[in-house]
Amino acid sequence: MSTELAFQSSINPAHTTTYGVNEVLTACPQTGDLLDIQYDWDRVPVPGSLKEFESRWSTRRNPLDFSGVWRFRELLPFAPEDKIVTIGEGQTQLQQSEHVAKFVGVDDKNLFLQYEGLNPSGSFKDNGMTAASTHARIVGAKMAACASTGNTSASLAIYSGVTKLFKTIVFVGSGKIAYGKLSQALDYGAVTLQIQGDFDDALKQVREVCRAANIYLCNSVNPFRLEGQKSIMYRVLEGLNWEVPDWIVVPGGNLGNSSAFGKAFIELKELGLIDRVPRLAVINARGANTLYQLVEEKGLSWNGGQPDEALVNEFYQAMDADNRRASTLASAIEINRPVNLMKCLRALDFCDGVVREVDDPEILDGKAQVGAGGLGCEPASGASVAGARLLREQGVIAPSDRVVCILTGHQLKDSTATVEYHMGKNGQSGSSCANSPIQVENDYEKIMEVIRQIS
């Protein structure tokens, strides 16, 4: 066992070998399993109650106390303070929305939207990238890379652009990324490789390239990233005056967020900082529903740390044999092989979780409702609202349950999807919430005619 305060170890509970935090690893060298960052909590000065973190609100001039990630630094204590890389991430908010509550079907005051689009690069990824960038700095990385459906790349690019600590290469699937996101990587100065393929192809390539060329990998197989993403849950609790909600509903792509949320709750419970755990709902797009199929249809589970790997391999073999590829308008979550699958199973197990799938029209309706009565979000985030509505219809969520939907990305990330939805493109002509623009001649009387009709 390590004598360090923070160390890395396999998520497989049967393997207890530990690795130092100065090692750059994306899998356990012995077993190939995903890695966790673990702590010797007895030696960490963790506050006796979460409320104590509020004292940091009065010392916001310290960038570490300003950051919505690092003001909780005792809960992710892997880095010396002078190595922490922050660009002011995590200034996000929990919004109560009666409009979205009505759409979902819960009591007026019971629906909350955790708006991660307010991060510097416009998505939740900054919560993780501040942690990965910090680790990259600790190990002295000169170059970092990731594969992305667009938000990870925007986030990595902004951290390297602002801090100049390392150069960045991002791998994206050609034609598979919303323009808002591509524009960010270009603007922030990342070398951008457009691979002829989808996210899974790009991830496979970047993993090999990083291994061969000693480049620091920033995808969510990097266990440090997920440490930062735990803080989304700390801020949700903070927004609810440290009360635990009944449900956390989150879109599932590569399953980094759901995995990080589960780890946050496992640790908070172990530390006695919460007395109960919310239920977790992970929402897949129907066109990219690997998790849904494996968990809800084939019965895959964490199984005490021994999930049925043969079942997973069989599923992927059949996927390849049938040439089935993920396809959804929610391009952020258009993923075939979620790399954090096993960690997500652990989260579902601990949080008594469920997985659901929603189709693209449902996702876009959910997104439009958030736009009309919330803070706006990109399509993938709309899946959480659509999923909450489905779970309510199924009677899994009760009207009296307090539900938090995670809005993972900003509305302006994918304005094409929004405009096409409202203008009835992509077969969306029957959209229940469409608000298409009205064409009017450049003529005062004609304009007034329209105004009279709507008033």
> CA-based angle 367:406:337, to the nearest 5?
90
Counting contacts by CB under 6 A, is residue 353 touching ligand F0G?
A: no
Of 55-63, 77-85, 136-144, 254-262, which segment contacts ligand F0G by CB under 6 A?
254-262
Q: Is 92 in the site for ligand F0G (CB under 6 A)?
A: no
**Quick check: 251 binds ligand F0G (CB under 6 A)?**
yes
Compare residues 255 and 274 and give the one whose CB is closer to ligand F0G.
255
Single out the segment in contact with ligand F0G by CB under 6 A; choices: 46-54, 74-82, 143-151, 356-364: 143-151
Residue 180 Cβ vs ligand F0G, minimum distance, rounded to whole Å: 11
For residue 367, the minimal CB distance to ligand F0G (Å) is: 11
State which residue, 94 or 398, has the beta carbon closest to ligand F0G: 94
The stretch near ligand F0G (CB under 6 A) out of 145-153, 209-217, 241-249, 266-274 is 145-153
Query: Nearest to residue 262, comparing CAs of 244, 238, 278, 284?
Result: 278
Please check whether residue 218 is in contact with residue 359, taking contact to mean a CB–CB distance below 8 angstroms.
no
Based on the shown chain and the rule CB under 6 A, indicate whether residue 253 belongs to the binding site for ligand F0G.
Answer: yes
Contact 259, 230 (CB under 8 A): no
Cα–Cα nearest to 159, from 176, 137, 139: 137
Query: How remote is the C-alpha of 86 from its chain's centroid?
Result: 19
* Distances, alpha carbon 170 to alpha carbons 86, 267, 311, in Å: 20, 32, 32
Which residues have a Cβ under 8 Å from the Cβ of 175 and sit 6 or more positions away? none
Out of 119, 149, 160, 289, point to the residue binding ligand F0G (CB under 6 A).
149
| Binding status of residue 290 toward ligand F0G by CB under 6 A | no
Q: Measured from the CB atom, is 138 or 190 closer to ligand F0G?
A: 190
Distance in Å, CB of 117 to ligand F0G, minimum: 8
Among 409, 417, 428, 431, binds ligand F0G (CB under 6 A): 409
Residue 412: half-sphere exposure toward Cβ, Cα within 13 Å? 6
Q: Choose between 46 and 389: whose C-beta lies nearer to ligand F0G.
A: 389
d(CA 293, CA 67): 37
Cα–Cα distance measured from residue 297 to residue 310, given in angstroms and rounded to the nearest whole number? 15
**Residues in binding contact with ligand F0G, number by CB under 6 A:** 21
Neighbouring C-alpha atoms within 13 Å toward the C-beta of 153: 33
Asked if 406 and 94 touch (Cβ cutoff 8 Å), the reply is no
Q: Which of residues 317-336 bind ligand F0G (CB under 6 A)?
A: 332-333
**Min separation Cβ 116 and ligand F0G, Å:** 8
Q: Which stretch binds ligand F0G (CB under 6 A): 17-25, 79-87, 255-263, 309-317?
A: 255-263
Taking a C-beta distance cutoff of 8 angstroms, is the pair 170, 148 a contact? yes
Q: Count, in order, helices (H) and strands (E) of the chain.
A: 16, 13
* C-alpha closest to that of 332 among 155, 208, 132: 155
- Give me the 96-125 binding string for ligand F0G, x by CB under 6 A, dash otherwise: ---------------------------x-x
Point out the residue whose Cβ comes nearest to ligand F0G.
253
Among 151, 168, 231, 290, binds ligand F0G (CB under 6 A): 151
Footprint of ligand F0G (CB under 6 A): 123, 125, 148-152, 251-257, 332-333, 378, 380-381, 408-409
